[in-house]
Homo-oligomer: A and B are copies of this chain.
Amino acid sequence: MVEGMEVTRAVGFDENERRAVYRAIHERRDVRRGFLPEPIPDELLNRLLEAAHNAPSVGMMQPWRFIVIRDFAVRQTIHEIFIDANQQARDSYEGEQQKNYAGMKLEGILEAPQNLCIVCDSQSSQGHQLGRRTMPETALYSAVCAIQNLWLAARAEGVGVGWVSILEPNRVRRALEIPEHITLVAYLCLGYVEAFAGVPDLERSGWEKRTPLERVLSFDRYDSGWDKQGTAL
């Protein structure tokens, strides 16, 4: 340290602010049921989209594009695509697991008055390729960071978000006129909800268990034990 120079250290948020950030993280839920028919106001939707748009992006590429879907006919088309994919998914399970799967509500496409499709233009020249020579997939990852920003802001605003991946991407692409060079990243349902579940639906229904953090954590190198644990992880 140079004499007379003091190294400052940036301070974090105060206790209440920190707690609010963790609250959003811990109380965020993937919502599929209980969407209310009242549309969310434009101003609120805009705040959520601004939150998404303030995500980090490789080279400041901002490759995300947001398609807000309110049109009921468009949502009906997407819902039909879900029905087909979900039927196929259900048929891939057997016995108790199939029964459990069939009993779960996995989307709110028609109930949520607004859907949001996030696509990514990985070919955009914005950012001038900075950070993308070796890991070009970071363009897509930037779009995902935007989604998580929106998801947390939505929780704070009392807006539920559900991510629907049980959709044949090419059919969604056709329904929304998304061109070939654009990647469909995510299809979300969002809206006011009756409640946020205390525990994730998949945990409550017994579909999957929460893994303790220490089982997915290692130091200085990959833990080869992770591969031996298999489903027991």
Within 24-72 of A, Cβ neighbours of B (below 8 Å) are at 24-26, 28, 30, 36, 46-47, 49-51, 53-56, 58-62, 64-71
**Chain B neighbourhood of A222, CB < 8 A:** 65, 67, 119, 176-179, 182
* Copies per assembly: 2
Distance, CA A216 to CA B133, complexed state (A)? 24
Cβ-closest chain B residue relative to A26: B54
A2 touches B (CB below 8 Å)? no
**Chain B neighbourhood of A209, CB < 8 A:** 60
**Interchain CB contact (< 8 A) of A68 among B26, B193, B219, B233:** B219
**Chain B neighbourhood of A10, CB < 8 A:** 158, 160, 192-196
Q: Report the interface size class on chain A.
A: 35 or more
Distance, CA A137 to CA B40, complexed state (A)? 30
Distance, CA A195 to CA B11, complexed state (A)? 8
**Chain B neighbourhood of A49, CB < 8 A:** 213, 217
Binding site for B on A (CB under 8 A): 7-13, 16-26, 28, 30, 36, 46-47, 49-51, 53-56, 58-62, 64-71, 74, 85, 88-89, 92-93, 97, 101, 106, 119, 121, 124-135, 137-138, 140-141, 144-145, 147-149, 151-153, 155-160, 163, 165-169, 176-179, 182, 185-186, 192-196, 200, 202-203, 207-211, 213, 216-224, 226-227, 230-231, 233
List the 10 closest A-B pairs by CB distance, nearest first: A12-B158, A17-B20, A20-B20, A60-B208, A148-B148, A144-B144, A21-B156, A60-B202, A135-B165, A131-B165
